[in-house]
């Protein structure tokens, strides 16, 4: 509805400016605070959590070994997933129909079946193929050959299961990122004499990163937790390690709490990394970036030292 | 030198964008392609660096058939300024300009130093170097686009309506700077525009294309204005082409008469009743505007800025007939002010005198 010239806005000069008091907002915040505080104190004071046991096991050898395995297993799986996913995305956007279809079929299969089943599948591969060999198909010479069970250890199965599944999702993330880059950019790159690979690496990918990074961060954080599925194929990651411990001492709750503390710590570190990575690739974006917490702290310190007006917020 | 030899482009849907084009763009000169929208200008331009492949015919770059070269090799020898600049938003201005040197593996420091020089060349301050394209205005981005195309010092430049996205004042400025640059650099340039004024101002030769991709006329700007080959070209060149052609004829030395003046800040003289307009100059004898002696000066003792009529343009001694005539027509007194190269007053001429000069030129030219 259009405002008519006689709208009350013309009387605005008479209105006294009184800051609006958000009584409702304050009340709601108070209720939430009380609720959170009681929840925390109930957890801290509840003896069933056995915080002393949590403390004992947090840095236990077996827990730390499990933690280390979770860290490097997730890292390898994420690196494999990102590399393969990027390749699949480029294949899907290629002019070559064979590459396009292979990529499509891959994504169809690995997104369409549960990751749990894929993990089990890789661990059974020794049973399915007693020897695994690479060579010219249909009776050609065999180049490399190995016993299925020797080649696919539980760890290898875990890496393949997690990494190959991630790649299918990552392919779609990267594809969306590549498609988000303006076509004129490829034109410009070509006109300046870049080859296809150069324009992809120097122009398109860096710009696509802005779209790719947030969901990729999600994937990495997710992988830390999804990797706990490898317990089912007998790989002693963080979760499986604490499970093995409480199978003996029956201290389920404190050990699970200890594991969660480590998971939270790792995901927090990843989130911070993601924040700075996003800022790095936001260079040249139209919107001004807000200062990082570090920059803010520094600005505040400087304003205190020089007695300046300071940086609000 | 770029030579189109019977070049035709037929798009897959059957559109013939360019029809057996024969055209030579001479080395060190600006060749402008001009014509109505959709006549195949961009298509012709992009066939030179093979962003579009011709359906038939050959394009020669000096003595090489462009079809025989690797596309990326070809394109690195040819600067291309794209409409709307086409800068890379994730790279700083200096890195945008240095794109091609980086590609060629030039030392980064060296490449950035050259880029900074180019930034200055196209008239941008050095502190823009660290900015990103989004932090520049459209006109500034266009300049960066030109600088980027120049960075590899290519012998050939292709420019597709590089000055179209800016207002007339900035466009004029960019055109002047472009001409100044070209005088220094002497590149072989193919320039696309749909603006006939721009074509005439910039071109050493102008190719007028008609819809369907036919070359209607290839001529120097003067010839195009004075002898359009047919009704289409005449219509495209415009109705006031006679007046514009004067822009290519020097007036020679104008015989001026002395003009009485008053200096800015001096007392207002009493008006003589024969003439109410008096020319105002500053201490350096540079004309500032006209004073209407018939006006009411209550409240004013001296000749001050706000009393001046500043409408008139100035003609330079040795300038064009068009500038001389325009000075007369735009002056409130009817007398055109003529100055020397330093901007100091020489005297004035009337429109009648300039017209007599034009007529004398015409009879001179007729056998
Ligand atoms: N990819 C394409 N497929 C089919 N037809 C095309 C294609 N690109 C251009 N055309 C047609 O070719 C003709 C010439 O196009 P071109 O872009 O060269 O025009 P132009 O002279 O640059 O026009 P403008 O001044 O509007 O930019 C037009 O009729 C256009 O519709
Ligand atoms: Mg065009």
Among A52, A182, A105, CA closest to B133 = A182
Q: What pLDDT is attached to residue A91?
A: 93
The whole-number pLDDT of residue A80 equals 96
CATH 1.10.287.180 fits A71-235, yes or no: no
| The dihedral sign for the CA sequence A288, A292, A293, A294 | negative
Closest C-alpha to B206, from B228, B184, B186:
B228
A128 CB-side CA count, 13 A? 8
- How many alpha carbons fall within 13 Å on the CB side of residue A143? 4
| DSSP annotation of B250 | B
From the list B51, B84, B90, which residue is nearest A207 (CB)? B90
Helix count and strand count (H, E) for chain B: 13, 16
* Probe target for ligand 1 pocket from B9, B33, B43, with the most ligand atoms within 8 Å of CB: B43
What is the rounded distance in angstroms from the CA atom of residue A208 to the CA atom of residue A133? 38
Asked whether B259 and B350 are in contact (CB, 8 A), the reply is no
| Share of residues in chain B with pLDDT > 90 (%) | 40
Which residues are near ligand 1 (CB < 6 Å)?
B 11, 13, 15, 17, 37-43, 194
Instruction: Look at the alpha carbons of B86, B91, B93, B95 in this order and tell me if their dihedral is positive or negative.
Output: negative
Q: Structure tokens of B1?
A: 């030198």
Question: pLDDT tens, position by position, for chain A (313 residues)?
Answer: 444 444 444 444 556 667 777 888 888 999 999 999 888 888 778 777 788 888 888 898 899 999 999 999 999 999 999 999 999 999 998 889 999 999 999 999 999 999 999 999 988 876 677 677 777 777 667 766 777 667 778 899 999 999 999 999 999 999 999 999 988 898 889 888 898 889 999 999 999 998 999 999 999 999 998 999 998 888 889 999 999 999 998 888 889 999 999 999 999 999 999 888 888 888 777 666 677 777 888 887 777 665 544 444 3
Q: Locate the ligand 1 atom nearest the alpha carbon of residue B15 and give its number.
A: 5
Please give the distance, rounded to the nearest whole angstrom, from the Cα atom of residue B40 to the centre of ligand 2: 7
**Alpha-carbon gap, residue A281 to A300, rounded angstroms:** 26
Residue in chain A closest to B76 (alpha carbons) equals A193
How far are the Cα atoms of A43, A67, A224, B23, B177 from residue A261, in angstroms, in the given order? 14, 11, 13, 75, 65
pLDDT for the residue numbered B84: 73
**In contact, B31 and B25? CB cutoff 8 Å:** yes
Q: How far is CA B210 from CA B2, B32, B34, B176, B326, in A?
A: 21, 14, 9, 28, 32
Work out the minimum CA distance from A75 to partner chain B, whole angstroms.
Answer: 28
Helix (H) or strand (E) holding B216: strand B214-219
Domain ranges of chain A: 71-235
Strands A131-135, A142-147: pairing is antiparallel
Q: CB burial class (10 A; 0-12, 13-18, 19+) of residue B18?
A: buried
Domains of chain B: 2-243 (3.40.50.300), 261-364 (3.10.580.10)
Contacts of A185 in chain B (CB under 8 A): 86, 88
Name the more confident of B307 and B4: B4
Q: How far is residue A180's CA from residue A114's CA, in Å, rounded to a whole number?
A: 29
Q: Are A86 and A175 in contact (CB under 8 A)?
A: no
Span from the CA of A183 to the centroid of ligand 2 (angstroms): 17
Cα B106 from Cα B119, distance rounded (Å): 18
SS3 B176: helix
Q: How far is the C-alpha of B362 from the C-alpha of B367, rounded, in Å? A: 10
The whole-angstrom separation of Cα A158 and Cα B329 is 88
Using CA positions, which residue lies closest to atom 24 of ligand 1? B37
CA A215 to chain centre: 7
- Is B100 at the interface with chain A, CB within 8 A? yes
Contact (CB<8Å) B90/A281: yes
Q: pLDDT of B12-47, one tens digit each?
A: 999 999 999 999 999 999 999 999 999 999 999 999
Cα separation values, B358 from A13, A30, B247, B258, Å: 66, 90, 12, 22
| Threshold 0.80, pTM exceeds | no
Q: Are strands B335-339 and B314-316 parallel, antiparallel or unpaired?
A: parallel
Residue labelled with tokens 């369409």: A112
Mutation to probe ligand 1, out of B8, B40, B51 (largest number of atoms < 8 A from CB): B40
Shortest CA gap A195–chain B (Å): 6
State the distance from the centre of ligand 2 to the C-alpha of B83, rounded, in angstroms.
8
Q: What ipTM was assigned to the predicted interfaces of this complex?
A: 0.70
């Amino acid at each position: 509805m259009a405002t008519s010239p006689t709208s009350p806005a013309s009387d605005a000069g008479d209105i006294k400016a009184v800051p609006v008091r958000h009584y409702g907002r304050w009340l709601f915040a108070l209720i939430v605070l009380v609720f959170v505080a009681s929840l925390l104190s109930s957890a801290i004071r509840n003896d069933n959590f056995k915080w002393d046991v949590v403390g004992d096991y947090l840095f236990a050898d077996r827990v730390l070994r499990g933690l280390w395995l979770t860290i490097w297993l997730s890292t390898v799986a994420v690196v494999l997933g990102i590399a393969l996913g990027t390749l699949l995305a480029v294949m899907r956007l290629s002019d070559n129909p064979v590459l396009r279809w292979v990529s499509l079929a891959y994504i169809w299969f690995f997104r369409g079946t549960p990751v749990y089943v894929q993990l089990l599948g890789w661990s059974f591969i020794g049973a399915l193929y007693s020897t695994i060999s690479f060579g010219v198909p249909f009776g050609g010479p065999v180049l490399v050959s190995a016993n299925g069970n020797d080649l696919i250890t539980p760890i290898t199965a875990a890496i393949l299961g997690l990494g190959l599944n991630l790649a299918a999702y990552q392919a779609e993330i990267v594809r969306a990122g590549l498609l988000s880059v303006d076509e004129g950019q490829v034109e410009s790159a070509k006109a300046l004499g870049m080859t296809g690979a150069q324009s992809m690496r120097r122009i398109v990918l860096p710009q696509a990163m802005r779209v790719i990074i947030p969901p990729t961060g999600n994937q990495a954080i997710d992988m830390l937790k999804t990797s706990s599925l490898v317990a089912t194929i007998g790989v002693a990651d963080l979760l499986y390690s604490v499970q093995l411990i409480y199978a003996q001492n029956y201290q389920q709750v404190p050990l699970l709490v200890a594991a969660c503390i480590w998971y939270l710590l790792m995901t927090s570190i990843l989130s911070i990394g993601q924040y700075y990575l996003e800022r790095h690739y936001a260079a040249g974006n139209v919107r001004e970036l807000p200062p990082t917490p570090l920059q803010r702290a520094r600005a505040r310190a400087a304003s205190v030292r020089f007695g300046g007006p300071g940086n609000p917020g | 030198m770029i030579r189109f030899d019977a070049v035709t482009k037929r798009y897959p849907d059957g559109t013939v964008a360019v029809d057996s084009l024969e055209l030579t763009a001479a080395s060190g000169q600006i060749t402008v392609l001009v014509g109505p929208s959709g006549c195949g200008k961009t298509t012709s331009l992009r066939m030179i660096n093979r962003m579009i492949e011709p359906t038939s015919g050959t394009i020669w770059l000096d003595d090489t058939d462009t079809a025989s070269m690797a596309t990326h090799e070809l394109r690195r020898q040819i600067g291309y300024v794209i409409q709307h600049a086409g800068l890379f938003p994730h790279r700083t201005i200096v890195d945008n300009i240095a794109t091609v040197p980086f590609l060629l593996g030039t030392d980064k420091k060296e490449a950035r130093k050259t880029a900074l020089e180019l930034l200055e060349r196209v008239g941008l301050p050095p502190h823009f170097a660290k900015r990103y394209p989004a932090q520049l205005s459209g006109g500034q981005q266009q300049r960066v686009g030109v600088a980027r195309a120049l960075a590899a010092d290519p012998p050939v430049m292709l420019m597709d309506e590089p000055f179209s996205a800016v207002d007339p004042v900035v466009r004029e400025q960019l055109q002047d700077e472009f001409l100044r640059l070209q005088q220094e650099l002497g590149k072989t340039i193919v320039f696309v525009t749909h603006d006939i004024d721009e074509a005439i101002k910039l071109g050493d030769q102008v190719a007028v294309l008609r819809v369907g991709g036919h070359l209607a006329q290839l001529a120097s700007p003067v010839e195009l204005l004075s002898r359009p080959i047919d009704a289409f070209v005449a219509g495209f060149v415009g109705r006031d082409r006679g007046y514009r052609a004067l822009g290519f004829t020097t007036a020679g030395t104008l015989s001026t008469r002395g003009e009485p003046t008053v200096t800015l800040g001096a007392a207002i003289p009493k008006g003589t009743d024969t003439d109410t307009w008096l020319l105002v100059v500053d201490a350096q004898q540079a004309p500032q505007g006209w004073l209407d002696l018939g006006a009411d000066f209550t409240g004013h003792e001296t000749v001050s800025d706000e009393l001046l009529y500043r409408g008139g343009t100035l003609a330079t001694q040795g300038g064009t007939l068009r500038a001389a005539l325009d000075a007369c027509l735009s002056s409130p007194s009817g007398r055109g002010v003529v100055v020397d190269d330093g901007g100091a007053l020489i005297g004035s001429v009337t429109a009648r005198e300039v017209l007599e000069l034009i007529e004398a030129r015409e009879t001179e030219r007729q056998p």
